[in-house]
Amino acid sequence: MRAYERFFKYVVIHTTSDEDVEKTPSTDRQFDLARLLEAEMKEIGISDACVDEHCYVTGHIPATEGFEDAPKIGFIAHLDTAPDSSGENVKPVIHEDYDGNTLNIGNGITLSQELFPHIKDLKGKTLITTDGSTLLGADNKAGIAEIMAMAETIIKDEIPHGRICIAFTPDEEIGHGAELLDLERFGADFAYTVDGGPENEIEYENFNAAKAVYKIKGISVHPGEAKNRMVNAGLIACEIASMLPPAETPAHTEDREGFYHLTDIKGDVENAEIAYIVRDHDAGLFGAKLETLKMIEKTLNEKYGPETVTLTITEQYRNMIEKILPHMHIVETAKACIKAQGLEPLDVPVRGGTDGARLSFRGLPCPNLGTGGYAFHGPYEHITAEGMDTVVNILCSIVQRIN
């Protein structure tokens, strides 16, 4: 079965995660896809496939005779879709022999070269989109479908290989996908997440990341008697925003440039809260950003009184490159396999985080590979059947080269 055919089965299953829920999985509906995958894995010959109580699907393809001592390689993708856009009642649409021009996919959603210059390069391919009312779910059900197609090919064609370890994880989109994966049970020496963009993409750098929340306590009195008494918490929240560099926001940065991103601001005279996510690839610059946030807290408390402003910083993940550098052979292997498909490897820093970053810091070196998809997390999302086939070929090639 081709990867896109499996993909069509997976995207219609609602698996959106919920960042406001503490348990794992955050939504029980992720079990619907997990149990389907467990059954499909057993059907193609992965006899130990199972789903655990936290919705992690794992399974292994034993090494073929003579390759028992080969490195044990893992492939990982995630079950959930992003809460940014609806993932319910997804209706994938096939556009055969796409002409590369502007395409109205429905509900006022239009793919154009102005928005997406790469679409001209998809001319002649089998383009898969949404109907414009939901996201598509290529992030990351394309990765799941490609890993499943790879596994089926390896088993069916009796391709010699070392032990192959497969995992499908919940809640990646809300930052919890790697936390409870049993690495001992998984058993890989290293792994690849298949969760990126274009099929020639290889990622092994990501942001250092933190969440920063300022809570502000004001003093509310009648505005007619407020002079030298009122402390307006809402205005202090605005003051905090004004104290950060205006050019260091997501709208003004790219590549390895870091930023402060205001994600939420709310409050009134008496109480207010302003929240940021902070990102930088460079560990030193990241640390400097956190120090800037702390200095703002100190400055405002000196100005308005002790404990007026309370800052809480929560570090979220770190740049995986420091854990990948000692194992660069896994990156070079992937690049060689991408080149073997006639493509030039696209070596890009992730302007975000991945399960691979968290897994790398847990001791499992884990760069990220492309899925062939574009415009994730919304109704513009699209992918091609041919691009998915290419990723399957890359994965199969990696398995063979690792030996």
Q: How far apart, in whole angstroms, are the C-alpha atoms of residue 147 and residue 144?
A: 5
Share of the chain above pLDDT 90, in %: 94
80 flagged as catalytic: yes
Q: Please check the confidence at residue 139 and state whether its pLDDT lies above 80.
A: yes
Q: How far apart are the first and last CA of the chain?
A: 25
Residue 135 corresponds to which tokens in the numbers above?
């996201």
The answer to whether 15 and 34 have CB atoms below 8 angstroms apart is no
Looking at per-residue pLDDT, the higher value among 176 and 10 belongs to: 10
Q: What is the pLDDT of residues 18-76, one digit of tens each?
A: 989 989 999 999 999 999 999 999 999 999 999 999 999 999 999 999 999 999 999 99
Q: pLDDT over 70 for what percent of the chain?
A: 100
The pLDDT value given to residue 350: 86
Q: How far apart are CA 296 and CA 298, in angstroms?
A: 5
What phi and psi values does residue 128 have, to the nearest 5 degrees? -115, 125
In the chain, what are the domains?
3-205+319-402 (3.40.630.10), 208-317 (3.30.70.360)
Letter string b/e over residues 268-307, b meaning 16 or more CB atoms within 10 A of that residue's CB: ebeebebbbbbbbbeeeebeebbebbeebbeebeeebeee
**Residue 403 pLDDT > 80:** no
pLDDT at 317: 86
* 172 among known catalytic residues: yes
For the whole model, what pTM was predicted? 0.88
Structure tokens at 212: 């920063």
Amino acid of residue 48: D
Catalytic residue among 38, 40, 80, 152: 80
Q: What is the DSSP track for 119-134?
A: GGGGTTS-EEE--SSS
Residue type at 338 in one-letter notation: I
101 cis-preceded (ω within 30 degrees of 0): no
Mean pLDDT of 178-187: 94
Residue range 186-237, pLDDT digits in tens: 999 999 999 999 999 999 999 999 999 999 999 999 999 999 999 999 999 9
Q: Are 212 and 293 in contact (CB under 8 A)?
A: yes
Each residue's pLDDT tens digit, 75-100: 999 999 999 899 999 999 999 999 99
- Whether the pLDDT of residue 353 is over 80: the answer is no
Residue 352: is its pLDDT beyond 90?
no
Helix, strand or coil, per DSSP, at residue 316: strand
Catalytic residue among 40, 146, 171, 172: 172
Nearest residue to 398 (alpha-carbon basis) of 322, 346, 336: 336
Which pLDDT band, with edges at 50, 70 and 90, does 137 fall under? very high
